[in-house]
Amino acid sequence: MAHPALVPPVLVDPLPEYEDSVGPRRRRPSAWHLLLLPLSLVMLTPLAWMVVTAVSTVQESRQFPPRLPSSIQWSNFVAVWTTAPFGRWLINTAVVSAIVVASNLVFCSLAGYAFARLRFRGSGLAFMLLLATLMVPFQVVLIPTLLIVKSFGLIDHLGALIVPNLVTAFGVFMMRQFFLALPPELEEAGRMDGASRAGVFLKIVTPLMGPALATLAILTFLSIWNDFLWPLVAIQSPENMTMQLGLSTFQGSHLTDWPLLMAATLMSQLPVILLFLAGQRMFVRSIASSGIK
Amino acid sequence: MAPIVLDGIRKVYPGKPPVVALESLDLTIDDGELVAFVGPSGCGKSTVLRCVAGLEKLSAGRVVIGGREVQELPPGRRDIAMVFQTYALYPHLTVYKNLAFPLKERHVPRERLDSDVRRVAEMLELTPLLRRRPAQLSGGQRQRVAMGRALVREPVAFLLDEPLSNLDAKLRTQMRTEIAAIHRRLGITTIYVTHDQVEAMTLGDRIVVMRDGRLQQVGTPAQVYENPSNLFVAGFLGTPTMNRIVGHTSHGVVTAGSLRLAVPGAPDGESVLGIRPESLRMEDTHAGWPSFEVAVSHVEALGNENLVHARVAGRPAQLDLDSASALAEDTVVFRAPPKVRPETGGTVRVQLDPSQLLLFDRPTGERIRLLGPATVIDSTEIIH
Amino acid sequence: MVRTAEAPAASAPVEGRPSVLRRVWWSDHLAGWAFISPTVVLIGLFGLVPVVWAFVLSFQQNDLISPGKWVGLANYKKLLHDPLFANSVRNTIVYTAVFVPVSVIGALLVAAALNRRVRGITFYRLAVFIPVVTSTVATATMFSWLLDPDFGLVNAALSKVGIASQGFFRDPHEALMSIVLMTVWGWLGFGVIIYLAALQSVPADLLEAAAIDGCSRWRAFWRVEVPLLAPATLFLVIWLTINALQLFDEIFVTTKGGPVGATTVVVYYLYQQAFQYFNGGYASAIAYVLFLAILVVTVVQLTAGRRLSHAER
């Protein structure tokens, strides 16, 4: 064998390019469409049918087998606004959501940060108790909460929907997890640079809370939006009802006027569906992260 | 600039059993000195730094910076600055704002703030990057911003926590020289923590070797390298690691395999011969130097030199530093010039410079200081 | 360069702690309690106090208006012999036993189908996700109409393929399953979101290794991906079970517990007792039994889940 020093180095050929998947070759439509398309249509059917019925007349809705309406009846939508305090329901829900979300963002961040970063006597016990409340189903505290709210004179008042929800244990837990995951060096650097504890929180930590706050906001909003049992029990007057509650009473009193009912349902869901479509990536990410327990 | 005095500092973490991160440690760092703390993970070097910084509370002892006792003060009031291993740059602020942050916290007026920031940016070649965010910077650039943020305040002391360990090898070498240059230029008292002994040796005016929360040795790089006080220090500094051959001393003669040397002043007992790779030569030209044959097991060609791993006949055993037990292997490592490349499996003759020999007491690891140079007893023909 | 110290030197430490240290220690303490006090007060008032109070209530006969009367364990004893309660328990168990597996497996399969880059995948995914944001009341209303025995779309479709019209919500034998259908539709998107997130976090090199080992895509899915989804599956099973056991809204809006008690679930029965018959104490006892059941079921599921994942190793 020749001495290695005598063999001149050889230039190795560059590797041939991989067959590029993008190219003139026409891509065949995937077979998955055969499965996904019917699936999506089935999932969308209830919503689609709701829309169809909402623009039908009562007679058209009583056809069997059902037929598509001959013309679009906008009158149903108008009727909903006039026969029920629909606008009030919308405003009530919006007000309650806004206040509850805002207060949760503030209080859960403060508490979550304190539990994650600050050391003070009693913090362990306080956090344990907080966690414990997470395990208790709402139905257990339903009646006593009602009695407490009654003693504050908030029955049949929007306050009954707001006050018990100003802070949620879940929100605190979530924010604590977030703060625990922040690298402590950032705050240490801040302290070395001379910021006080509050300064560190406001100037360094708060700007980084964006995504976590967005998630908390979305999840809190969804839970308020969906809440039914509590408003059912705490609110009686139609003007103070939330959308959910209002819709159910509406349904109770217009049982056979399906177009009217569907119009009401459609209008009640439209804001949230539009919100979802606008921010669906954030929504989906928030819901996915609620699974990381 | 100020001297730093560590007076009996001690840090214990509660638990069952409690963890002693720092045994009582005393050290005086002179004004303007760069002291490198070096040691394996968990030796306590970062703990020392964090205690000086104020990020950990001392269990006992005092930290005095520039004549002021600071151990009760929060970090922001000690007039010191720190560069974190992960840089800890504020991700939502531009480079300019990152550099300005410490000055803003001290309510430095805007003009002076701007000039200070620009001066530091200039010094660290960050001026074109001032509008960028940390996420848009490379590792080396981030490191410089971290240093800039620490320097912009002109602190009296400068703490660096493994600042180069997140950089690739080439960048590390480059930044090392930059840090040395900055230190020469600004003359700030610096504590530099690293696990890389090359950084410690090249940057430190003095080196502190630590292990298990205890100070092993303090001295200039030359002192610590040439005169290690125990086996751990000797084995920690120097690449490739010093050869440590197990032997036995009696009546002033140490026997290790087929090596026999007179070691005046050495007490009887189990010993370890410390032979640095550069103390072994592949020539046969020095009279009076012990020489012996070794069987080459493999050669690592590094381009600028060759590292030869070879087995010493007569079966002396090497000492494993971690377990303090004798390894079965009896290879030694020595250096050969790049053009000299012994064949694997062949035998070569090596000579040992006895003036470079280090002798250690095996049970304690302590260095045994000889009263005179070690000398050869036998001419060293090996009997297989 | 002479630097002046920035802060006055710490007061000379005499005996005990210097004042600076105490100030620092206090500020941490104060800050901590300041930060958590609104939370502690609110959750204490609306979380902890009611839990204890409900417990007390469960030992009383209380119509929520006049002061209650202490009856000891009478409520709990009554629960054991109450045929209506037993009926509600049975309905709840049947509902849960069907809803949870169908939802979990359905979500898994749909998520697997949606976990690919096909043109229009966003549309398909949205179609599955949107039902998640529709409220329970809206879902119930939509399905009341869809499943209307006389004019509903579903019966029309069935008659097209020659199946007779079904009673759905009006048929005692079909009502509960109709509820299942409705809630599966509403919850599917949630499970899909969870599974999609889990599927997308499967490291690509695992699948590449399987491909090199000659594993078909189908087998790779079941042998490699699904086991990695175990935590997501466990979470979903637990979460959906807890929600299933608390079913209420849809029942209230559609069947109101009927027909003939076929869809009376535990929480609906609780609601009736508290707000229609004014047996607040009895209702609280029911609530506590439900609480206990949820706890037990969750613990069982958690330990079973952990044991299964250990068995696989």
Q: Map tokens 């592949």 to a residue.
A: B282
Examine the domain organization and report whether C101 and C129 are in the same domain. Answer: yes
Per-chain mean pLDDT for chain A: 84
pLDDT at B383 > cutoff 60: no
DSSP single-letter state for residue A201: I
CB contacts of A108 in chain C (<8 Å) are 39
Mean pLDDT within A151-174: 92
Confidence at residue C119, expressed as pLDDT on a 0 to 100 scale: 81
Give the residue on A whose Cα is nearest the Cα of C146. A46
CB contacts of A195 in chain B (<8 Å) are 76, 105
Q: Report the share of chain B in percent with pLDDT over 70.
A: 92
Give the residue on B whose Cα is nearest the Cα of C12. B69
Q: How many domains does chain C have?
A: 2
Give the residue on A whose Cα is nearest the Cα of C158. A65
pLDDT at B146 > cutoff 60: yes
Measure the CA–CA gap between C17 and C23, rounded to whole angstroms. Answer: 10
Query: Has residue A12 been placed in a domain?
Result: no
CB contacts of C24 in chain B (<8 Å) are 72, 74
Mean pLDDT within B274-289: 80
Residue type at position B209: V
Query: Has residue C68 been placed in a domain?
Result: no
Query: Has residue C62 been placed in a domain?
Result: no
Confidence at residue C10, expressed as pLDDT on a 0 to 100 scale: 40
Contact: C7, B154; criterion CB under 8 Å: no
Band of pLDDT at residue B1, cut at 50, 70 and 90: low
Q: Percentage helix, strand, coil, to 5, in chain C?
A: 70, 0, 25
CB contacts of B77 in chain C (<8 Å) are 6-7
Mean pLDDT within A6-34: 54
Q: In sequence order, what are the beta bridge partners of B208?
A: B37, B218
Please report, for residues A32, A98, A252, C101, C243, the alpha-carbon distance to residue C303 in angstroms, rounded to integers and kept in the order given. Answer: 37, 40, 44, 18, 19
Nearest of A192, A190, A211 to residue A202 by alpha carbon? A190
Examine the domain organization and report whether C239 and C145 are in the same domain. Answer: yes
pLDDT at B26 > cutoff 50: yes
Q: What angle do CA B340, B344, B346 make, to 5 degrees?
A: 85
In sequence order, what are the residues at sequence separation of 6 or more whose Cβ sits closer than 8 angstroms to the Cβ of residue A101? A217, A220, A221, A224
* Nearest CA-CA distance, residue C311 and chain A, Å: 22
Examine the domain organization and report whether C103 and C224 are in the same domain. Answer: yes
Band of pLDDT at residue C16, cut at 50, 70 and 90: very low
Confidence at residue C87, expressed as pLDDT on a 0 to 100 scale: 93
Q: Give the residue numbers spanning the domain of C91.
A: 74-312
Q: Say yes or no: C74 contacts chain A, CB-CB below 8 A.
A: no
Query: Has residue A44 been placed in a domain?
Result: no
Confidence at residue B278, expressed as pLDDT on a 0 to 100 scale: 87
Helix A138-151, helix C49-57: angle, nearest 10: 100
Least confident of A283-292, B177-186, B323-332, C23-32: B323-332
* pTM score: 0.78
- C174 within 8 A of C167, measured Cβ to Cβ: yes
Query: Has residue C64 been placed in a domain?
Result: no
Measure the CA–CA gap between B254 and B270, rounded to whole angstroms. Answer: 9
Contact: C51, A291; criterion CB under 8 Å: no
Residue of A185, A186, A192 for testing the chain B interface, max B β-carbons within 10 Å: A192
Nearest of A221, A193, A222, A187 to residue A207 by alpha carbon? A187
Using a 10 angstrom Cβ sphere, with 0-12 exposed, 13-18 middle and 19 or more buried, the burial of residue C166 is: middle
Question: What tokens appear for A122 in the block?
Answer: 């009693």
Query: Has residue A3 been placed in a domain?
Result: no
pLDDT at C1 > cutoff 80: no
Examine the domain organization and report whether C241 and C179 are in the same domain. Answer: yes
Q: Give the residue numbers spanning the domain of A201.
A: 72-284
Mean pLDDT within C301-305: 89
* Nearest CA-CA distance, residue B53 and chain A, Å: 8
Query: Has residue A16 been placed in a domain?
Result: no
Cα-Cα-Cα-Cα dihedral sign, residues C114, C116, C117, C118:
negative
Q: How many domains does chain A have?
A: 1
Examine the domain organization and report whether C156 and C296 are in the same domain. Answer: yes
Q: CATH number for the domain including A224?
A: 1.10.3720.10
pLDDT in tens, C57-92: 899 888 888 888 888 888 999 999 999 999 999 999
Query: Has residue A270 been placed in a domain?
Result: yes
Query: Has residue A148 been placed in a domain?
Result: yes
Q: Say yes or no: C28 contacts chain B, CB-CB below 8 A.
A: no
Confidence at residue A3, expressed as pLDDT on a 0 to 100 scale: 52
Using a 10 angstrom Cβ sphere, with 0-12 exposed, 13-18 middle and 19 or more buried, the burial of residue A147 is: middle
Query: Has residue A199 been placed in a domain?
Result: yes
Contact: C252, A232; criterion CB under 8 Å: yes
Counting every residue written for chain B, the total comes to 384
Examine the domain organization and report whether C235 and C117 are in the same domain. Answer: yes
Q: CATH number for the domain including C270?
A: 1.10.3720.10
Query: Has residue C248 been placed in a domain?
Result: yes
Mean pLDDT within A88-96: 93
Query: Has residue C134 been placed in a domain?
Result: yes
Confidence at residue A19, expressed as pLDDT on a 0 to 100 scale: 37
Nearest to B68 among C9, C13, C21 (CB): C9
Per-chain mean pLDDT for chain B: 86
pLDDT in tens, A194-248: 888 778 888 899 889 988 999 999 999 999 988 999 999 999 998 899 999 999 9
Give the residue on B whose Cα is nearest the Cα of A209. B92
* Nearest CA-CA distance, residue C27 and chain B, Å: 12
User: Which residue has better confidence, C312 or A57?
Assistant: A57
Measure the CA–CA gap between A224 and A229, rounded to whole angstroms. Answer: 11
Give the residue on A whose Cα is nearest the Cα of B146. A189
What residues of chain C, 144 to 173, have a C-beta less than 8 Å from chain A?
A: 144-146, 148, 150-151, 153, 155-156, 159-160
Confidence at residue C26, expressed as pLDDT on a 0 to 100 scale: 62
Confidence at residue B241, expressed as pLDDT on a 0 to 100 scale: 87
ipTM for the predicted complex comes to 0.82
Q: Map tokens 């000659």 to a residue.
A: C214
pLDDT at B336 > cutoff 60: yes
Examine the domain organization and report whether C27 and C92 are in the same domain. Answer: no
Query: Has residue A82 been placed in a domain?
Result: yes
In sequence order, what are the residues at sequence separation of 6 or more whose Cβ sits closer than 8 angstroms to the Cβ of residue A77? A54, A263, A267
